[in-house]
Amino acid sequence: MYIASSRAGAAVYVNALARERGSGSPVAAANRRLYLQRFIAGTWQNMLVRTTDAKGQASVGFIQRATLAYRWVAPATSVADPAISTSTVH
């Protein structure tokens, strides 16, 4: 899933919450590397990287130059599958 921004020149805040699957309920994915990607020129491109905090959260804010779509991507690890965010623009 991805999020679409509203307009060029607008402030965009993108939040993520990473969870890991296990034998029980999903738990926070602390210290997990997440990539914020933007869809430009027909492809998803890495824009920046963030590391989740102890609660599995990461966020970023910026002024966008064009109306684009964004998504967080978490690479696979030994305890979690690759994931694409369901974050929202605020």
Return mean pLDDT, the chain. 76
* Chain segment 66-90, per-residue pLDDT in tens: 888 888 888 765 444 445 544 444 3
Residue 89 within a domain: no
As a whole number, mean pLDDT of residues 22-35 equals 78
CATH code assigned at 60: 2.60.40
Residue 44 included in any domain: yes
d(CA 67, CA 89): 12
Give the structural domain span for 51.
3-84
Query: Span 46-61, mean pLDDT?
Result: 90
Specify the higher pLDDT residue, 46 or 74: 46
Highest mean pLDDT among 8-17, 19-28, 39-48, 66-75 belongs to: 39-48
H or E element that contains 43: strand 43-51
Under 8 Å between Cβ of 39 and 2: yes
The 3-state DSSP composition of the chain as helix, strand, coil percent (nearest 5) reads 0, 50, 50
